[in-house]
Amino acid sequence: MKHIYVAAAAIAVLLAALGAGKRVGTAQCREQIAAQNQILHIQTIQKQGEINAETLRRGTDDIRRVLRTQYTIAE
């Protein structure tokens, strides 16, 4: 009878270790995915800044001037 209790305790310890390992692995996976998403987000923002650099440097006065030169009331 004593051997059955020892075997049951060993199985319980193994199942607990398996469950804990699964939780740790899931947490590490989520952490890696979050870091990758953060890097991707930063790269996207940098690309938008590079693409729109000229537009970001201009003010609304320049936009108004361009619209006035391209479009008149006669058109």
Residue 58 clears pLDDT 70, i.e. is over it: no
How much is the pLDDT for 47? 85
How much is the pLDDT for 60? 59
Tens digits of per-residue pLDDT, 33-57?
A: 999 999 999 999 988 877 777 666 6
Task: Indicate yes or no: pTM above 0.85.
Answer: no
Residues 6 or more apart in contact with residue 49 via CB below 8 angstroms: 56
Where helices occur in the chain by DSSP H, the ranges are: 2-51, 53-57, 60-70
Residue 11 — very low, low, confident or very high, per pLDDT cuts 50/70/90?
A: very high
> Which among 55, 57, 49 has a CA at the least distance from the CA of 41?
49
